Amino acid sequence: MEFFLVQLLNGISYGLLLFMLSSGLTLVFSLMGVLNFAHASFYMLGAYFAFQLSTWIGFWPALALAPLGVGAIGMLVERFGLRKVHRYGHVAELLFTFGLAYLIDEAVHLVWGRSAVDYRVPPDLDGPLFSIFTSQYPTYRGFMMLVSVAMLVSIWLALTRTRIGLVIQAALSHPQTVEALGHNVPRVFMLVFGGGAALAGLAGVIGGNAFVTEPGMAASVGPIIFVIVVVGGMGSLAGAFIASLLIGCLQTFAVALDWPLFFGLKLSQVAPVLPYLLMVLLLIFRPKGLMGTREG
């Protein structure tokens, strides 16, 4: 029972981190139609910014400032890069973000070196939150879950209950009409892209010290967030949320169970492949994903 409960909590908290990572990606895709390959790099930038800021002014200001910084970079990228590339179509956009990911990687190498940096969990959030029988549950994981859920709720409220949210939604399907009504549509897109980058940055602030802040961190999460977006349904926020929890729990429980499979392999050994297997199966049997609205 203890084992099951702890693993369930592990699975949910990992899933919620995956959601933080993928929400910005799916948002930018659903609102702008841009599949941003540099999304994981914004995650890495968030972690490095938070590291740098927390050595100067502490963790709490960094928690707010680092995502804003990453968001600002995202907006600059949209304003001076993506907007120009947009008119050449989706392939050009893909290639642009692909190149951008390499640029950010190299920039991080140059500024912070090739090794891990010493970015730690702040003392206020260090230590156990509560105990389940004899296992401790770390406070920081609880904090991670809280931020992730808060993020989901606030994105949803912002998109459906605020004026700017309505303008954003309208600008996607009827840009000319929205423009005719006096809204600056390019600026709306700039805000959306910056917002997506800021969400990735926030995930970096939280994930960077929970795990390790090093130049390989973007590459290590890149594939899994695409799996989540595809499984959840391209552009569906609720789908991404469900897919994140599903994949988080799937991986955690697969590791926990030593069920024998074939060729002497154990289930725990194939755990990391399961999300990709899920993606392939879903693409075959339900190409639009769990909650997606568009085909292919």
Residues of the shown chain interacting with other proteins in the complex, contacts defined by CB under 8 A: 2-3, 6-7, 10-11, 13-14, 17, 109, 112-118, 120, 128, 131, 134-138, 140-141, 207, 211-212, 214-216, 219-221, 251-253, 255-256, 268-269, 272
- From the CB of 136, what's the least distance to other proteins, in Å? 4
Q: Which lies closer to other proteins via its Cβ, residue 80 or residue 133? A: 133
- From the CB of 214, what's the least distance to other proteins, in Å? 7
- From the CB of 197, what's the least distance to other proteins, in Å? 21
- From the CB of 73, what's the least distance to other proteins, in Å? 22
Q: Let me know how long the chain is.
A: 296
Calpha distance 245→241 (Å, rounded): 6
Q: Which lies closer to other proteins via its Cβ, residue 86 or residue 141? A: 141
- From the CB of 13, what's the least distance to other proteins, in Å? 8
The position carrying tokens 């060729």 is: 263
Helices (H), the chain: 2-32, 39-57, 59-77, 83-86, 90-112, 139-161, 163-173, 175-180, 185-210, 217-232, 237-256, 267-270, 274-285
∠ CA 55-142-61 to the nearest 5 degrees? 25
Torsion, CA 37, CA 38, CA 39, CA 43, rounded to 10: 150
Calpha distance 30→196 (Å, rounded): 11
Q: Which lies closer to other proteins via its Cβ, residue 250 or residue 290? A: 250
Q: Which lies closer to other proteins via its Cβ, residue 131 or residue 154? A: 131
- From the CB of 213, what's the least distance to other proteins, in Å? 8
- From the CB of 215, what's the least distance to other proteins, in Å? 7
Q: Which lies closer to other proteins via its Cβ, residue 2 or residue 124? A: 2
Q: Which lies closer to other proteins via its Cβ, residue 58 or residue 272? A: 272
Q: How far is CA 173 from the centre of its chain?
A: 25
Q: Which lies closer to other proteins via its Cβ, residue 221 or residue 230? A: 221
∠ CA 234-237-242 to the nearest 5 degrees? 95
Pairing of strands 135-138, 128-132: antiparallel
Calpha distance 35→39 (Å, rounded): 9
